[in-house]
Amino acid sequence: MKGREEAWVAAVVADPRYHALVVARARLGWLLSIIIFTAFAGYLLLIAFDKALLGAPIGTGVTSIGIPVGLGLILLAIALTGVYVAHANRHHDARMAAILSDHAPAQEYDA
């Protein structure tokens, strides 16, 4: 039983589709992380070095530019989470399931 499981793992690891999936998954994760990190770091730098810009009112009103910028950051975090979850559920899980079932041992496997 143990040997069968090891053979399965070896077959999956040898599959080029598996490596493509790992690379694609890591790329998406790092890309989205860099986007959110850059946005937040930029926001902090803006607060540190140009407070006046964030405090400036929009047009002639009292609402400052900082309000939509801050809200935008919150909405960006929510949107990127949505992008990641949708992509992982739609593509990554399906690709992984396909690879696993292609190499699955012929006999009924009790995971």
Partner 1 sequence: MKGFVAALALLFPVPAFAAALEGEAQRQPLNLVAILMFVAFVGLTLWITKAAAARTRTASDFYTAGGGISGFQNGLAMAGDYMSAASFLGISAQIFNDGYDGLIYSTGFLVGWPILLFLMAERLRNLGRYTFADVASYRFAQPPVRSFAAVSTLLVVSFYLIAQMVGAGQLIKLLFGLPYAVAVVIVGALMMLYVLFGGMRATTWVQIIKAVLLLGGASFMALMVLAQMGFSLEALFARAVEVKTEAAL
Q: Which residues bind partner 1 (CB under 8 A)?
A: 25, 28-30, 32-33, 36-37, 39-40, 43, 47, 51, 54-55, 61-64, 66-67, 70, 73-74, 77, 80-81, 84-85, 88, 92
- Measured from the CB atom, the residue of 54 and 106 that comes closer to partner 1 is 54
- Measured from the CB atom, the residue of 80 and 104 that comes closer to partner 1 is 80
- Measured from the CB atom, the residue of 7 and 77 that comes closer to partner 1 is 77
Residues facing residue 57 across a β-bridge:
64
Q: To which residue do tokens 């399965």 refer?
A: 8
- Runs of H (alpha helix) within 1-111: 2-14, 16-49, 51-55, 66-87, 93-103
Least distance (Å) from partner 1 to the CB of residue 105? 20
CA distances from 15 to 5, 19, 100 (A): 16, 7, 10
